[in-house]
């Protein structure tokens, strides 16, 4: 096993541990009262920053261990940029995030929550054994993403009120993303960059024979 895989797995495991830690120090268990970004406020906000950066660093390290063709590299890079943005630029306290820095934080969060899982999915399609599981997580992320958007525009999608529904689905989206990072960490050594080519080429070759 390469050092990149070991480091990526360490990042993935640390992501789960720090997910619990930020809830404990903020005294705000899942689902968050307002949003995940509120964990980044106050004297312990640095833990939030370390958490999201470590979580997003894992896929990049795993990608270095076994790069694949296609857009995965650039999707992961865009998500990573978003993570650093949301880690360094804080949101506003409370529900209304209207300041300039809060909007920058929000844009970073959107980049992270959209492009990081897309990048992981673009890699996991080269996993011969866990492609379907990855696709299931991708579908779940898409459904939850729609619920996040509906809640953001005022629709009570969980029967908790629009604001609490938004916090619930945002937190759920993060759990799905952590699950994707963990799956990537587990299967990284078995990623086969040629598997997609073989699945396409084999039927063609058979038809020509």
In tens, the pLDDT along 179-203 reads 999 999 999 988 888 765 444 344 3
Secondary structure letter of residue 32 according to DSSP: P
If pLDDT is split at 50, 70 and 90, which confidence band does 92 have? Answer: confident
Of the listed ranges 17-21, 104-108, 136-140, the one predicted with least confidence: 104-108
What tokens does 11 get? 């990042």
In sequence order, what are the residues at sequence separation of 6 or more whose Cβ sits closer than 8 angstroms to the Cβ of residue 102?
90, 91, 92
Judge contact between 42 and 26, C-beta under 8 A: yes
- The SS3 of residue 42 is coil
In sequence order, what are the residues at sequence separation of 6 or more whose Cβ sits closer than 8 angstroms to the Cβ of residue 143?
none
Q: Which of 40, 60, 42, 62 is nearest to 51 (CA)?
A: 40
Secondary structure letter of residue 29 according to DSSP: P
If pLDDT is split at 50, 70 and 90, which confidence band does 52 have? Answer: very high
| pTM of the predicted structure, to 2 decimals | 0.87
């Amino acid at each position: 096993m390469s050092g990149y895989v070991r480091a990526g797995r360490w990042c993935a495991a640390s992501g789960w541990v720090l997910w619990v830690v930020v809830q404990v120090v903020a005294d705000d268990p899942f689902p968050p009262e307002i949003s995940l970004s509120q964990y980044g406020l106050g004297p312990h906000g640095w833990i939030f920053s370390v958490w999201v950066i470590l979580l997003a660093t894992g896929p990049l390290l795993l990608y270095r261990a076994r790069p694949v063709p296609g857009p995965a590299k650039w999707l992961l890079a865009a998500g990573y940029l978003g993570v650093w943005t949301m880690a360094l630029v804080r949101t506003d306290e409370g529900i209304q995030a209207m300041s300039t820095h809060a909007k920058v934080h929000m844009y970073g969060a959107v980049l992270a929550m959209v492009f990081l899982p897309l990048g992981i999915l673009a890699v996991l399609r080269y996993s011969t054994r866990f492609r379907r599981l990855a696709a299931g997580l991708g579908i779940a992320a898409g459904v939850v993403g729609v619920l996040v958007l509906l809640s953001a525009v005022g629709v009570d999608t969980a029967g908790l009120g629009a604001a609490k529904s938004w916090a619930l689905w945002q937190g759920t989206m993060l759990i799905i993303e952590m699950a994707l990072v963990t799956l990537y960490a587990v299967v990284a050594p078995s990623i086969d960059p040629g598997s997609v080519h073989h699945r396409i080429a084999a039927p063609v070759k058979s038809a020509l024979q």
